Amino acid sequence: MTGVGAEQEFDFDFLFEFKHSDEGGRGEHYNYTSSNVNAGLPLNVAHSSLSTPCHGLQTSNPVISVVPSTNHPSGYGGHMDSGASEYYLPPNIRPNGAPALESPRIEITSYMGLHHNNNQFFHDEVEEAIPNAKRSPSTATLNLPNIEAYRDPSCLSPASSLSSRSCNSEASSYESNYSYPYTSPQTSPWQSPCVSPKTTDTEEGYQRSMVACTLLSSPRHSPSTSPRTSITEENWLGARSSRPPSPCNKRKYSLNDRQTSYSPHHSPTPSPQNSPRVSVTDETWLGNTNQYTSSAIVAAINALTTDSTIDMNDGIPIKSRKTAIDHTPSMTLKTEPAGEDHRTISPTADLSPEDFSSFQHIRKGNFCEQYLSVPQHPYQWAKPKSLSPTSYMSPSLPALDWQLPSHSGPYELRIEVQPKSHHRAHYETEGSRGAVKASAGGHPIVQLHGYLESEPLTLQLFIGTADDRLLRPHAFYQVHRITGKTVSTTSHETILSNTKVLEIPLLPENNMRAIIDCAGILKLRNSDIELRKGETDIGRKNTRVRLVFRVHIPQANGRTLSLQVASNPIECSQRSAQELPLVEKQSTDSFPVTGGKKMILTGHNFLQDSKVIFVEKAPDGHHVWEMEAKTDKEMCKPNSLVVEIPPFRNQRITSPVQVNFYVCNGKRKRSQYQFFTYLPANVPIIKTEPTDDYEPAQTCGPMNQGLSPLSKPYYSQQIMMPPDPGSCLVAGFSSCQQRNAVMSPSPNASPKLHDLSSSPYKCIPNPGHSHLGLQQPAGGVPTIQEVPRSIVVHPSSPEQSSHIMLQPQVSQHLSSSCPLGYQQTLYPNSPSSPVPSVTQEPTYLQSCSPTHSSIMGQQQQQLPKVHRNESPTTQPLSLPELHEESNHNLAPIPVTIKREPEELDQMYLDDVNEIIRNDLSSTNVHS
DNA sequence: CCCCTGGAAAAATGC
DNA sequence: TAGCATTTTTCCAGG
């Protein structure tokens, strides 16, 4: 509760919280959100299922994507210029802005079902029939919902700051909507970040948001209380058993279990339930397009919304969740900030399903989210009201899942002091475990360089993923605001698209430097998040996060330049932190193929028995070469390990070859993959990057940042490579992707993260790119930065519109980062891109298919997969190249492109491949 | 009294 | 399906 201020009540629309007290006194809360308002939105439930099916479909269906968008950044996009929105509006989208829900997935039902239980609206019929507990939705899935399995994270958890509870942020696009209210305007860097809508836009956005807020505010209050409770409790109670089951992806459990109770825990902290990810997810699952689309859509919606909140309803997805806790005993619905309606208010209480529905609609309508299916809860979180002048969110900022560069022009956002590699996150049921600390003591420090204005800015902080996929808000973790005597930095929480965002002032008098001693990390229960409608990521073993910092710098031209930088990965699980070896640093990033040099690894949990395995992976992820390096056991210390670089299998390489290595303490105790580059025997060191594709990864360096910060080494390597735009371009992309793959901790290797959600290397090559553009850019290529509002916005916009939009986006992002290359390359791949390249389609498909979880990620993954697939079919390009080079060192093949992902999940791969094949067959033809 | 933590037991899941 | 191994989540207790 610390920080928060009040969590306030913000109940967001969907949430319904219940609380009942346990003996213990703790009240348990259940929050239900229905986020979804619309039946239309099927989101997720389907996801899982979708993915598969989708694939095939995907391509074709843009629609789907549209829907999803919810998450997205709609905010940004949304706000963005209205104009933009126009552009983007996907066909699907309804006039209102609401997406056309076409989404194929029926799954929706499930949600509905869920909702029902919850009260939700959806199916009246159903609900009626069913009391609460169980209704089974038509679909199996349906059941779940009720259960609440989902709890919304949004719930507030008392614990942390209010904000936390509020969680529902919508990080992505949406957020803006909500958040705005809080923030103070002036400062606002927000204005329009990337997107930056013009002032006007912004303003609009603002207004909207404001409006919404107002609306919301009122509504919330009341309604909830009573009704909900009853409902909720009953329902839930019945079902639940002790814990909510966690579904890993929706696990097998049927709803029942889940429903069970999720949690009564009162978790103090609010969880952002809404899965931060949601955004991602939603989007994601839609497919690539979605992503864009979603954002775009969102944006559009937002625009629309402003005016017409109501309309939205249609589109809005429905989903209910229960949140667990809210502090308040009363169960209120939480409305979104935006305006929920009065109606909304009441709903809580009783809940006739219908009512709920209406509520939802209403509420949803306001926000973009509505559109998004996923979003559901968005509002749950209470919004903090913080006031910090500094922050006020502007409507148009880029969605949290967009990739942004860390530097642009004279500006550079840099993490001067990295956080410790381990930080045990706290559950809602626990008290805070304090702020994230720096490894050397103290706290992380972030500074914006190159900013000479006198106007303070706002630094945003949210918890992002640390897997190989594109950086995006982490669905299972939320930033937790820490306040107290020991905290010197003021902060304010807001929720964007289900993602809690901490806003910290960056003051000129402090040299635009901020000590991050106010940020803790909240862990949301896997079961709660996985049940979310659009969530595709799996929580199990997905315990690494990164602190993601963003700053939005107003430009003279009215635009806003948005920069983003992500910290090194932070292991958040107690067990993992205690047992898994972790490499924080390596004394050498590259060495001639002859090997023999001693390399010192610094990190944690090294044992005398620790083994260091060097691995060369083929694009498809399989290991081409594995070699156990010799370690000096006598020199081994818990925090350092000395290994002798083994000779590379091919002593004749002509260009650098990037490989990976990891530390293994036993069967399932492996570190993330680290990167290492073998240099041609005679070559001095240097990295330039020659090889193109092959090494692309390296080249991409910059890109990576965003992606996998983890391996510093990598970075360094990468860094080595000049980020030439040009060079980066294609190669970069691909490389990046590859890298990602590579860098990524290895899915395989470190199964944990990877396995689960992360997908292996999903680098989404091209298609992804577009996405990437969004996301990737983040790390990588700073260049761009500016996200011109319009442009940026667009990106977010739904994919569908996608192509067009994407390109722009891509171009910018990418371009900025790697201008040429990307564009060219990307385009091809990217859905948007005209290029027929196989990839593209696949991309779409992929995106759709896989889990939404992280759409991006998926996409990425998919892409890679695709590539692979493609490669087989289409070409030898990457594969050959890779093989050759890697294997033989032979001259690299000229081609480029595709790089892949190494390790995709095979599952995915298979699926993807099939899809791709199908597509390819067609695509190939084109090409 | 509250916040942080470190440890662990208990509960879930995965194999 | 039973049983064991892993992970996750909830509890406890001390500073």
pLDDT band at A548 (very low <50, low <70, confident <90, very high): very high
Taking the C-alpha atoms of residue A862 and residue A845, their distance in angstroms, rounded to an integer, is 8
Domain positions in chain A are 407-571, 582-679
Statement: the CB of A243 is under 7 Å from strand B = yes
Q: Which of residues 56-95 of A touch strand B (CB under 7 A)?
A: none
What share of chain A has pLDDT > 70, as a percent?
31
- Cβ of residue A228 near strand C, that is under 7 Å? no
A317 contacts A35 by C-beta, under 8 angstroms? yes
In strand C, which positions have an atom below 7 A from any protein CB?
Answer: 6-13
Across A182-196, A261-275, A287-301, A369-383, the highest mean pLDDT is recorded for A261-275
Residue A462's pLDDT band (cuts 50, 70, 90): very high
Tell me A382's DSSP state: P
State the pLDDT confidence band at A395, using cuts at 50, 70 and 90.
low
Nucleotides of B under 7 A from a protein CB: 3-8, 11-15
Q: How confident is the model at residue A394 (pLDDT cuts 50, 70, 90)?
A: low
**Are the C-beta atoms of A44 and A281 separated by less than 8 Å?**
yes
The mean per-residue pLDDT over the stretch A708-716 comes to 30
CA A438 – C1' C15 distance (Å)? 21
| A574 CB inside 7 Å of strand B | yes
| Total-model pTM | 0.48
Mean pLDDT of A845-850: 27
Which nucleotide lies at the shortest CA–C1' distance from A426?
Answer: C9
Residues 6+ away with beta carbon under 8 Å from A860 = A468, A469, A470, A737, A740, A759, A761, A762, A763, A764, A765, A768, A771, A772, A901
Residue A683 pLDDT > 70: no
- Statement: the CB of A575 is under 7 Å from strand C: yes
Average pLDDT over residues A568-582: 87
CATH of the domain spanning A582-679: 2.60.40.10
Name the protein residue, with chain letter, whose CA is nearest the C1' of B5: A433
Least-confidence region, from A369-373, A579-583, A680-684: A369-373
Pairwise pLDDT comparison (A435 vs A261), residue with the higher score: A435
Contact A597, A677 (CB under 8 A): no
pLDDT of A685 reads: 52
CA of A153 to C1' of C5 (A): 30
The residue among A428, A426, A172 whose CA lies nearest residue A301 is A172
The domain made up of A407-571 is a member of CATH 2.60.40.340? yes
* A505 sits in which H/E element: strand A499-506
Domains A407-571 and A582-679 share a fold: yes
Q: Which residue is nearest to nucleotide B6 (CA to C1')?
A: A574
Specify the pLDDT at position A480. Answer: 93
Give the pLDDT confidence of A336-387 residue by residue, as tens digits. 222 222 222 222 222 222 232 322 222 222 222 222 222 233 223 333 333 3
Task: Choose among A31, A562, A587: nearest CA to A275.
Answer: A31
Give the rounded distance of the alpha carbon of A722 from its chain centre. 27
Measure the CA–CA gap between A894 and A47, rounded to whole angstroms: 38
Average pLDDT, chain A: 49
**pLDDT tens string A105-147:** 222 222 222 233 333 222 222 232 233 333 233 222 223 333 3
Give the Cα separation of A430 and A157 in Å (integer): 10
**Residue–nucleotide distance: A142 CA to C1 C1' (Å):** 28
Query: How many Cβ atoms sit within 10 Å of the Cβ of residue A841?
Result: 26
Confidence of residue A749 (pLDDT cuts 50, 70, 90): very low
Burial class (CB in 10 A: 0-12, 13-18, 19+), A923: buried
d(C-alpha A855, C-alpha A861), whole Å = 9
If one compares A495 and A838, the residue with the highest pLDDT of the two is A495
Is residue A640's beta carbon less than 7 angstroms from any atom in nucleic acid strand B? no
Q: Which nucleotide is closest to the Cα of A262 by its C1'?
A: C9
Q: Measured from the CB, is A526 under 7 Å from any atom of strand C?
A: yes
pLDDT (average), residues A879-888: 30
pLDDT at A628 over 80: yes
> Does the pLDDT at position A389 exceed 50?
no
**Which secondary-structure segment (H or E) carries A821?**
helix A819-821
Answer left, alpha or beta for residue A275, where phi above 0 means left and psi between -120 and 50 means alpha: left
CA atoms of A603 and A671, how far apart (whole Å): 10
Q: In Å, what is the separation between the CA of A104 and the C1' of B7?
A: 49
